[in-house]
Structure 1
């Protein structure tokens, strides 16, 4: 497999899901940002390339946030949920991602 094909395959696995919530919608309207759950080992450059490849938009910058999983217990056993890596993607002015159109 060539490097280009291998890299595109990797980029398709970087973004796990968009975060669609009240807070994410407010951030999107105010700051032209979109929030995604990303793979735990994804770098900022990979996230930027993945968004540009999948949604055909121009990305200005990417901020990343690592959230630790909650501690939960079942009886006397204590465990921890999986952590999440969130990517706050700043789009260049005039760019927009419409998830409703992408789903069709």
Structure 2
């Protein structure tokens, strides 16, 4: 048998999957898994929750629009604003050996009043 056959293979039928109208929402989404990396458990982040501001670590290439869509899909809340901060890395020393703690990117997401998020802290 040749590696590249010139004969056409018969085309098989494809099935379509119908969505169920009353199906429960699955926890999480593909976009949220790609964009959101977790919620830090810092004093500042926890204090902001009283004002409706939630902090998430995000991927370095993520945009504000992607963060907004990911939070809406993941938690089903109304997002009012998204602020993004690039936290720089810092120099750390142990004796004469110098190293770097890597920087990261975080998003501060403000949600509508009266809504809350149940976060799992990292």
* TM-score where L is the length of structure 1: 0.77
**Structure with bigger gyration radius:** 2
Q: 2:72 aligns with which of 31, 37, 52?
A: 52
- Report the alpha carbon displacement of residue 21 of structure 1 after superposing the two structures with TM: 2.1
Q: 2:108 aligns with which of 82, 88, 91?
A: 88
Unaligned runs of 5+ in 2: 1-28
Question: How many residues end up aligned between the 2 structures?
Answer: 93
Q: 2:119 aligns with which of 79, 96, 99?
A: 99
Query: Counterpart of 2:82 in 1: which secondary structure?
Result: strand
Superposition CA RMSD, Å: 2.0
Q: 2:59 aligns with which of 15, 39, 51?
A: 39
Higher helix residue share: 1
- Report the alpha carbon displacement of residue 58 of structure 1 after superposing the two structures with TM: 1.1
Q: Match for residue 13 of structure 1?
A: 34
Q: Match for residue 67 of structure 1?
A: 87
Deviations, residues 25-56 of structure 1 (Å, cap 9, x unaligned): 11111x21000111111100000011111111
